[in-house]
Amino acid sequence: MDFQLNEEHLGVQKMVRDFANKEVVPVIKEWDRKQEMAPFILPRMAELGILGINIPVRYGGQGFDYISLGLVCEELEAADSTLRVIMSVHMGLNSMALLQWGTEEQKQKFLVPQAKGEKYACFGLTEPGAGSDVAGMQGTAKRDGDEYVLNGEKMWISLASKAHHALVVLRTNADAQDPHDGLSAFMMELDREGVKTGDIHGKMGVRAGSTGWISMQDVRVPVENRLGEEGEGFKIAMSCLDNGRYTVGAGATGLIRASLEASLKYANDRKAFGREIGKFQLVQQKIAYMVQSYEAARLLYLRAGWMKNQGQRNTRETSLAKWFATDASFDAASEAIQVHGAYGYSDEYDVERYLRNSKGAVIYEGTSEVHQLMQAGYALGYREDSPLRCEMPAYDPEFWQAEA
């Protein structure tokens, strides 16, 4: 494995860092207090090509590799978690699923406008009564001739009220012996009759982002909107989570870095007992742990990105990257507040927002407890990855960067 980033990686990294630092960081505190998404965010990310960064050029994207996606997510979350959340749902959970599972017609209909940023996308798996227990979902999709009739409600859906398209997983077979085998996936336009969406307010963190719900009442979608075969919904959802978790792990690495950089600045500026607090050993200990966490988290997500580039199954490696980085980001943000003392407890300094934002990623895309069980299962030999009908395609520059 080559640890050296190439010129394309460095260029993407700089472009996104400049955008985040110049256009988002100066105003994000204001929008966080309002608990609203800044209206310029999505159009500006589309204009810069970020919303299709690792989608092949022939499908409207920029043609960069999976490592570039990780670097983008790290830079975005170093500014604010809400930016990375956009990439997790629009790109990781939706567009990359279309790239893996979609027919050519579905790619032209849904993926091309999403990669160009003309349409925004979200992902509907969680329900009011079903989170980690995916097989417990109650939403249904019943075949009626050349259509499916969709009913149910999805909860905690990022971009629910902003998106044009949703990838939803619903139950198509209530009698399946294994309830996981009774699920199917669908691309659903959110302007269809019977669809309602709304926002959730009062969240602990990610307040400058859009989190909401999707209600479906007798929503009719054509059979050609089904992603994959009937009964493949669980496998599709899990493959989506492999990609989503990759973006979360990479993003959490950026939050660790932001906590570290804020702590370094404050420790060098703040004086107590006649000297900078950075000269006290217990403050240095906190700094050292942040450095350790950042370097380890970065290596873990870069390894997962490299495996994606090679076309290798990376469920275990991505799970480990997500689990480690999100737990470490929560710890880093907490220690950053401790370094800042009383000032860290107020929103005058960014570390207060970092801590609130960091907690969400410990829960979504698989809780830390879920990932602990996954890693133990792999180590003990109790768990192995089920085969998929189609794997995520390896990164091929000639294909990715070629016009159709």
Catalytic residues: 365
Distances (CA, A) of 220 to 141, 187, 190, 212: 9, 11, 11, 22
Tokens of 162: 């902003």
Q: How many residues does the chain have?
A: 404
Rounded CA separation 111/123 (Å): 14
Beta bridge partners of 130: 127
- Within 8 A by CB and 6+ apart from 61, the residues are 49, 52, 53, 54, 55, 115
DSSP string, 349-377: STHHHHHHHHHHHHHSSS-HHHHHHHHHH
Q: What is the 3-state secondary structure (H, E, C) of 36-92?
A: CCCCCHHHHHHHCCHHHCCCCHHHCCCCCCHHHHHHHHHHHHHHCHHHHHHHHHHHH
The secondary structure of residue 134, as a DSSP letter, is: G
- Cβ neighbour number for residue 368 with a 10 Å cutoff: 16
Tokens of 230: 């009937």
Beta bridge partners of 121: 165
